Structure formats: structure tokens, C-alpha cells
Amino acid sequence: MSADDILDSRRSFLRKSLTLIPVVTVAGSGIGLGAAVVADPAPAQAKARDEAAPAGSGTAYQPVFFTAEEWAFVNAAVARLIPADATGPGALEAGVPEYIDRQLTTPYATGATWYMQGPFVADAAPEFGYQLRLVPRDIYRLGIAAADDWCGRQYGKRFAELDAATQDQALGLLEAGKATFDAVPAKVFFSYLLTNTKEGFFCDPIHGGNKGLVGWKLVNFPGARADFMDWVERGERYPIPPVSIRGERA
């Protein structure tokens, strides 16, 4: 397969992936009624988040929500979900871990706008929607701990310590629901991780991800330009590089 074939294949996959990313509404505050609260060894207050290195500052980002062990897992996992290759940088280089960490300090992470009262029916049909007691920050905290524990039993090492091929195998088992976790379904945890990875790869850099606009350049998205609708149906490559909300250009 030529480099052009690889590029077309990856762009096609990521374009299709965009339709699977839900719109995340970040509003309100507090935890929804009935939501389980997991002890947080590294409280993520808004002040601490604002003082963290801003996107594009050139300073190494320090996680606010994640512990060191969790941060190692997230960095290793996103690097395998969207790896760097001949077509360009991957999720790790795009700053996806920073994006996820920042999201987990927002009201979205506490399920502030979710309906979180029971009953909670674990085996409900998909059309009934989300049924767990857990909010996103709980899913990450419990899911990462469970994944590392499972990898320890399965492979003798934490996820971040595994080689790339074994990490791919482990993620595949999580995606298929073939790994058994006690605290949170492995498939649910993987779904959040994959969705947030895609979001971080394609978001505006103001949110911490898509550094260097690498996601937008990959799919030829113009970004925050005032008007490009006349190019949508032309079947041609948009000739002007993308621009971010803050004015960053590729």
C-alpha cells in the first residue's frame, strides 16, 4: 500500500468517525442526583485548571485530574487509538491527554446536566439510553484502575508498560467487552476513552487538543474561518490552511 493509499484510508476512517462523536454540553455545576462519587486523590478545582499550562504555551502540561499512574495509562492508550504514522502526528502529539484531563475538571465530568435518579438497569435495551450510576470522571477513575489490574493479571504488567502490539490486543478485548471489570463495564470505559480521544484530536486547540491543528489538516477542515460554504460541494481540496478560534494557523 502506497503512502497516498494509507493517507486516504486514514482520512476516510477519521471522517466517518466524526459522525459518531456526540456533542458534549458543558453547563451547570455539581453532581446529578443519585450519581456515585468516587474519592478523588487529586481534586480538580477550576482555579488549578486555569493555572495549568495553556495550550500552545510551550510548557509541559501537568495533569490536574489524573494521578501519575492514570496519566501514564491515558498517554499510552490514546497513542494506540490514533497512532502517529506516515500521514502525520497521532493523538499523543495532538495533545489529546491534555484535552481529556481538562474535560474531567468541567461540569460534564460530574454529569451536572444528566438525569441521574434511579432505577439503574444494567441490562436495559440500548434505546433506553445511559443506565449506569457513574458519571464520566468516575468511569475514568474506576476504568483505568480496573484496566491496569486486568492487564496485570492477563499480561503481568500495567497497560502503560506493555509493548504496542500487546496494548492493541488489550484495547481490542476492552472494546469487545471480553475483559471483565467489577466496578464499570470494560466496553463502556473503552467507549468513553475512544470518543474523547476523537474529540481531542479534532477539537479547537483552545480546549487543549488538536495541537498544531493536526486533526483539521488531516481531514482538510478549514476551522474557524468566517465562510467556506461555497467549497463544501465542489469536491476539491480547500486551498487555505485551517485557523483556530484564537487565530492560530497551520
- Domain spans of the chain, in order of start: 3-231
- Please state, in angstroms and rounded to a whole number, the distance separating the CA atoms of residues 77 and 167: 8
- Please state, in angstroms and rounded to a whole number, the distance separating the CA atoms of residues 105 and 188: 20
Amino acid 230: pLDDT: 82
- Please state, in angstroms and rounded to a whole number, the distance separating the CA atoms of residues 225 and 138: 37
List the beta bridge partners of residue 88.
85
DSSP single-letter state for residue 246? T
- Omega cis (within 30) before 119: yes
- Please state, in angstroms and rounded to a whole number, the distance separating the CA atoms of residues 41 and 95: 23
CA 39 to chain centroid, in Å, comes to 22
> Count of CB atoms within 10 A of residue 18's CB?
14
Among 68, 45, 63, CA closest to 53:
63
* CB-based contact 86:126 (threshold 8 Å): no
- Please state, in angstroms and rounded to a whole number, the distance separating the CA atoms of residues 74 and 203: 18
Amino acid 59: pLDDT: 61
Residue 77 C-alpha cell reads as 492508550
Residue 179 C-alpha cell reads as 475483559
Amino acid 15: pLDDT: 53
- Count each helix (H run) and each strand (E run) in the chain, helices first: 8, 0
- Please state, in angstroms and rounded to a whole number, the distance separating the CA atoms of residues 92 and 77: 9
Residue with cell 486514514: 10
Mind listing the pLDDT tens digit of every residue in the chain (250 residues)?
A: 554 554 455 555 555 555 444 333 333 333 332 333 344 444 433 344 444 444 444 468 999 999 999 999 999 999 999 999 998 999 999 999 999 999 999 999 999 998 888 888 877 888 888 888 999 999 999 999 999 999 999 999 999 999 999 999 999 999 999 999 999 999 999 999 999 999 999 999 999 999 999 999 998 888 888 787 888 888 888 888 899 998 888 7
Amino acid 8: pLDDT: 55
